[in-house]
Structures are given as structure tokens and as C-alpha cells.
């Protein structure tokens, strides 16, 4: 079974650092792009960025560039999302999701597998 297993809920203080994880299984992790998606309380889905585990090629949404860092360790099939200094406004649910590939062109397409999400709460 293809799945993405995310790390558990986090409660942090403003200014603290954090790294959350997303471990893939049931497929060749290094050959499928992974996106991170933010959902603030009561709000919609926001695409944050995408990373290719094969070579760590990363593209950030302009809204999140410089605010977070995406990385992978393909040896353990795990993608990461990290903050160096959290703010209260980072309080949200964070999902990782795998992108499929177009069978003909090989282009990155929609998100076909989602992790269950990691809740991040930042509060003093």
C-alpha cells in the first residue's frame, strides 16, 4: 500500500525551531515529487512548495520562500519541512502529498496520495 506517514503533533513557542517529517512507503520514494500544503485553522489549502527526492530539486511558492526549508533524506524515504524561528501565525495543519506523473510526458501532475497531516501549534 502506498502511504505517507507524517510525524506527530507539535507544540512550540515563538522563536523555536521545528522539523516535521513525511515518510513514504509502498513505492519508489525517490522518483515521485512531494509537496507540502498548509491549512490554517478554519481556512483553505495553501500549496507551499515541492521537492524531488531524487536530487532534492525544490520549488517554493513565493508566499513561503524564505519562511520554511524543505529537504529529503532519500536513504530513509523521508521528506522534511522545517522552520528556524516559528511564529504564532505558523499554527496550522501541514500535509505532505505525493504527486503523480503524466504517463506520456512524465510531467508532474496532481496529488494522488496524502499524509494524515501534522498539527503545529505555536503559542507562548
Partner 1 sequence: DIQMTQSPSSLSASIGDRVTITCRASQDISNKLAWYQQRPGKVPNLLMYAASTLQSGVPSRFSGSGSGTDFTLTISSLQPEDVATYYCQKYNNNPWTFGQGTEVEIK
Please tell me whether residue 55 binds partner 1 under the rule CB under 8 A.
no
Among 27, 47, 54, 119, binds partner 1 (CB under 8 A): 47
Binding-site member from 51, 80, 86, 115 for partner 1 (CB under 8 A) = 115
Please identify which residue in 50, 70, 92, 120 interacts with partner 1, judged by CB under 8 A: 50
27 forms part of the interface with partner 1 (CB under 8 A): no
Do the beta carbons of residue 64 and residue 75 sit within 8 Å? Answer: no
Cβ-contact 54, 28 below 8 angstroms: no
CA 44 distance to own-chain centroid: 16
Pairing of strands 45-52, 57-60: antiparallel
Restricting to residues 75-114, name those near partner 1 by CB under 8 A.
95, 97, 99-100, 108-112, 114
Please give the Cα distance from 31 to 108 (Å, whole number). 11
Q: Does 116 bind partner 1 (CB under 8 A)?
A: yes
| Residues 111, 1 contacting (CB under 8 angstroms) | no
**Residue 117 lies near partner 1 (rule: CB under 8 A):** yes
Amino acid at each position: 500500500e502506498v502511504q505517507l506517514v507524517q510525524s506527530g503533533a507539535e507544540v512550540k513557542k515563538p522563536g523555536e525551531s521545528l522539523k516535521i517529517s513525511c515518510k513514504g512507503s509502498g513505492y519508489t520514494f525517490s522518483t515521485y515529487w512531494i509537496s507540502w500544503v498548509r491549512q490554517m485553522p478554519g481556512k483553505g489549502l495553501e500549496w507551499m512548495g515541492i521537492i524531488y527526492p531524487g536530487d532534492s530539486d525544490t520549488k517554493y511558492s513565493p508566499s513561503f520562500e524564505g519562511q520554511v526549508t524543505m529537504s529529503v533524506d532519500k536513504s530513509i524515504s523521508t521528506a522534511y519541512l522545517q522552520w528556524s524561528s516559528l511564529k504564532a501565525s505558523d499554527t496550522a495543519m501541514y500535509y505532505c502529498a505525493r504527486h503523480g506523473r503524466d504517463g506520456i510526458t512524465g510531467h508532474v501532475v496532481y496529488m494522488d496520495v496524502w499524509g494524515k497531516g501534522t498539527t503545529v501549534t505555536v503559542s507562548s
